[in-house]
């Protein structure tokens, strides 16, 4: 079974009438409300709010321009507002969310269209012709009130466009990389409701049942999209909308079947036919775009089809391909099947979500090939890659973070060597190498602070220039590397030198990656320890020099507060607490 997680949308949803507005405002404890919305519906909302109404803002704008938000925030401050009520379409909802982002004020949203964005924690804002999107629980409304009566006079063209916008939410949730059985159910029901309701609304705008189905579909579509990552469709719509000032819902309506075909969804042609039957724009050209506008844009070929409104070219079903690969693991042992299934679904989802090109994939294969060619017994480029991407630290936490009573673990790193020489206590493992002398006096105990005698402790570190012995072929034998045994009191004493910060090997593919993203290759100064004894969990960890460089930007993300130790006065004292394997 594929593992997944799902968090239920915490928004309170009420299907009723605008007469419920005052009750819902009381439930949120709102005493001084800013009302957002244009007069047609906001006048009725103002009457329902009564004395709770502190101020009104009647000019919400498409794509939530930041200057409009700033004007609304002035009203919030001037009138000591303690909550926001928004009534209208996506513009009113977006402005309420933007206010909540800056103020944490509770929101009560009354949608009059079918966008479904009122159910999400997503906010898109526009400044200087560029729309940026963020996802944060701070902008998710507390309550949404649906009143089907408010939608009965919504023009069919607006109804159809906003309904297709909601449909896009549900469709995108289907191919999201983190989709799960619950979001699939929500998306399927939303698609069923919306594709049934929109033609009925077009045929009879007064059909209350059709209008109610559209509202329910929008609710479910917004709910399932809120639980997953947004993908290609929303990225394109938000980019084009912000850059060219295109109408939000209509842009969604035009692009939806083309993105579906691009993603390999089997029902892309059905959605194209549905959109073609509704009174909405059917091409980007109808929205004012030209060939020159889309030249050089992301997904130019997709946009060219949408520009002319031609039937989208079908692509093989990518979901079917993923399922075919996953099904091929059906005879594998349970754990193998789980690991391979999640790996394939993650890789396929990554390729689909980023619209990975052949050239990009070939570059990635070449990158891994070069890393493999460079890897030897003394140069572990793949471990460096895992470390610098934080994967090693993630696996370390999943595997070794058993109890807060034990010393934190840390990554093994690429320079550990099996079977270091056993060395008597008190020895100098620096073997005469230059550096600041360091006397190390550590103790190993269990979680009850009882000493652990006869534990095997492997120690390794770099020299003062940042090199490990395996990187220095001129060295004769292991240096700054040894194996000790704790005494009857669980103590271990030896001499070494104070470690210094150093760069990981950066002359290979991993170094190229760090350069490309503007990251440094340095590790904070540290000494490695591996502590093992039968009956206890092996502890792999590192001690970092307090006040050392790069503690807050260690390139392998290995620093933990509990591992920062005082190396002052050329002396290190520390107690390691390890856990019994049966605890």
State the Cα–Cα distance between residues 159 and 199, nearest whole angstrom: 10
Decide if 528 is catalytic.
Answer: yes
Q: Determine which one of 56, 233, 348, 528 is catalytic.
A: 528
Decide if 174 is catalytic.
Answer: no
Decide if 416 is catalytic.
Answer: no
In a domain, 131, yes or no: yes
pTM here is 0.62
SS3 428: strand
CATH number at residue 402: 2.60.130.10
In tens digits, the chain (583 residues) has pLDDT values of 456 777 888 999 999 999 999 999 999 999 999 999 999 999 999 999 999 999 999 999 989 999 999 999 999 999 999 999 999 999 999 999 999 999 999 999 999 999 888 999 999 999 988 888 899 999 999 999 999 999 999 999 999 999 999 999 999 988 787 888 899 999 999 999 999 999 999 999 999 999 999 999 999 999 998 988 888 888 899 889 889 999 989 999 999 999 998 888 888 999 999 999 999 999 999 999 999 999 988 888 899 999 999 998 767 777 778 889 999 999 999 999 999 999 998 898 888 777 788 999 999 999 999 999 999 887 889 999 999 999 988 888 888 765 778 999 999 988 999 888 899 999 999 988 999 999 999 999 999 999 999 999 999 999 999 899 988 878 777 899 999 999 999 999 999 999 999 998 899 999 999 999 999 999 999 999 999 999 999 999 999 999 999 999 999 999 999 999 999 889 999 999 999 875 4
In a domain, 464, yes or no: yes
In a domain, 359, yes or no: no
Six token digits for residue 369: 């090939």
Residues 218 and 186 in one domain: yes
pLDDT for the residue 79 = 97
In a domain, 369, yes or no: no
State the Cα–Cα distance between residues 289 and 246, nearest whole angstrom: 9
In a domain, 113, yes or no: yes
Residues 416 and 553 in one domain: yes
Residues 275 and 329 in one domain: no
Residues 159 and 178 in one domain: yes
Domain count, the chain: 4
CATH number at residue 59: 3.40.50.1970
Six token digits for residue 475: 């060295």
In a domain, 491, yes or no: yes
Residues 56 and 79 in one domain: yes
Residues 409 and 557 in one domain: yes
Residues 146 and 167 in one domain: no
Continuous segment of H or E residues that includes residue 574: strand 571-577
Q: Determine which one of 353, 526, 537, 577 is catalytic.
A: 526
Residues 425 and 562 in one domain: yes
Question: Are the CB atoms for 549 and 523 separated by under 8 Å?
Answer: no
What would the pLDDT profile of 316-325 be if each residue is shown by its tens digit?
Answer: 777 778 889 9
Exposed / middle / buried, residue 212 (Cβ in 10 Å: 0-12, 13-18, 19+): middle
Question: Are the CB atoms for 281 and 249 separated by under 8 Å?
Answer: no
State the Cα–Cα distance between residues 148 and 15, nearest whole angstrom: 8
As a dihedral over the C-alpha atoms of residue 490, residue 495, residue 498, residue 502, rounded to 10 degrees, the angle is: -90
Q: How far is CA 164 from CA 175, 251, 344, 405, in A?
A: 17, 10, 31, 54
Residues 174 and 82 in one domain: no
Q: Determine which one of 502, 522, 536, 550 is catalytic.
A: 502
Give, in degrees to the nearest 5, the angle at Cα 507 between 501 and 511.
70
pLDDT for the residue 92 = 95
By residue range, what is the domain housing residue 297?
155-315
Residues 163 and 223 in one domain: yes
In a domain, 386, yes or no: no
Q: Can you give the C-alpha Rg of the chain in angstroms?
A: 30
Residues 563 and 444 in one domain: yes
State the Cα–Cα distance between residues 280 and 487, nearest whole angstrom: 81
Q: Determine which one of 252, 443, 523, 537 is catalytic.
A: 523
Question: Are the CB atoms for 36 and 60 separated by under 8 Å?
Answer: yes
Strand partners for 34: 55, 84
In a domain, 381, yes or no: no
CATH number at residue 256: 1.20.1090.10
Sign of CA dihedral 50, 52, 54, 58: negative
Q: Determine which one of 146, 468, 522, 550 is catalytic.
A: 468
State the Cα–Cα distance between residues 575 and 406, nearest whole angstrom: 10
pLDDT for the residue 573 = 95
SS3 39: helix
Decide if 52 is catalytic.
Answer: no
What would the pLDDT profile of 25-60 be if each residue is shown by its tens digit?
Answer: 999 999 999 999 999 999 999 999 999 999 999 999
Q: What is the mean pLDDT of the chain?
A: 92
Decide if 239 is catalytic.
Answer: no
Residues 113 and 208 in one domain: no
């Amino acid at each position: 079974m594929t593992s997944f997680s799902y968090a239920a949308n915490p928004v309170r949803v009420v299907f009723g009438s605008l007469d419920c507005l005052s009750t819902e405002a009381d439930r949120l404890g709102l005493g001084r409300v800013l009302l957002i919305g244009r007069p047609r519906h906001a006048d009725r909302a103002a009457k329902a709010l009564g004395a709770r109404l502190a101020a009104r803002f009647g000019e919400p704008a498409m794509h939530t321009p930041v200057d409009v938000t700033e004007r609304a925030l002035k009203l919030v401050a001037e009138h000591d507002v303690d909550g926001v009520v928004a009534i209208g379409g996506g513009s009113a909802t977006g402005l309420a969310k933007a206010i909540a982002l800056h103020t944490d004020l509770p929101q009560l949203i009354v949608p009059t269209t079918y966008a479904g964005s009122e159910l999400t924690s997503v906010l898109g804002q526009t400044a200087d012709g560029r729309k940026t999107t963020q996802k944060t629980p701070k902008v998710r409304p507390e309550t949404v009130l649906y009143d089907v009566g408010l939608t009965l006079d919504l023009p069919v063209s607006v109804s159809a466009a906003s309904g297709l916008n909601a449909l896009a939410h549900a469709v995108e949730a289907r191919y999201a990389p983190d989709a799960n059985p619950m979001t699939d159910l929500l998306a399927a029901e939303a698609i069923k409701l919306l594709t049934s309701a929109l033609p009925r609304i077009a045929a009879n705008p007064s059909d209350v049942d059709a209008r109610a189905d559209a509202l329910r579909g929008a609710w479910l579509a917004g709910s399932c999209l809120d639980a997953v990552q947004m993908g290609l469709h929303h990225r394109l719509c938000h980019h084009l909308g912000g850059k060219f000032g295109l109408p939000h819902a209509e842009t969604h309506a035009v692009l939806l079947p083309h993105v579906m075909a691009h993603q390999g969804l089997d029902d892309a042609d059905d959605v194209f036919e549905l959109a073609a039957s509704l009174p909405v724009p059917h091409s980007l050209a109808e929205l004012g775009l030209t060939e020159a506008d889309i030249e050089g844009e992301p997904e130019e070929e997709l946009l060219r089809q949408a520009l002319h409104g031609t039937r989208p070219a079908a692509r093989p079903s990518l979901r079917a391909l993923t399922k075919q690969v996953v099904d091929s693991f059906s005879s594998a042992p349970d754990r193998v099947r789980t690991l391979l299934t999640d790996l394939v679904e993650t890789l396929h989802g990554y390729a689909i979500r980023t619209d990975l090109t052949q050239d990009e994939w070939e570059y990635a294969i070449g990158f891994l090939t070069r890393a493999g060619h460079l890897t030897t017994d003394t140069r572990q480029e793949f471990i460096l890659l895992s470390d610098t991407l934080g994967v090693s630290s993630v696996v370390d936490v999943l595997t070794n973070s058993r109890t807060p009573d034990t010393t934190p673990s840390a990554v093994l790193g690429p320079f550990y060597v099996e079977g270091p020489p056993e060395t008597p206590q008190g020895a100098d493992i620096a073997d005469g190498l230059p550096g600041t002398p360091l006397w190390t006096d550590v103790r190993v105990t269990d979680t009850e602070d009882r000493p652990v005698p006869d534990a095997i402790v492997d120690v390794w570190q770099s020299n003062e220039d940042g090199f490990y012995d395996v990187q220095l072929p001129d060295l004769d034998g292991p240096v700054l590397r040894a194996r000790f045994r704790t005494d009857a009191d669980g103590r271990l004493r030896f001499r070494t030198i104070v470690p210094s910060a150093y760069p990981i090997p950066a002359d290979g593919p991993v170094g190229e990656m760090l350069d490309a993203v503007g990251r440094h290759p340095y590790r904070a100064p540290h000494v490695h320890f591996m502590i093992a004894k039968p009956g206890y969990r092996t502890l792999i960890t590192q001690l970092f020099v307090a006040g050392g460089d790069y503690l807050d930007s260690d390139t392998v993300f290995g620093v933990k507060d509990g591992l920062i130790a005082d190396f002052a006065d050329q002396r290190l004292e520390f107690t390691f607490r390890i856990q019994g394997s049966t605890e």
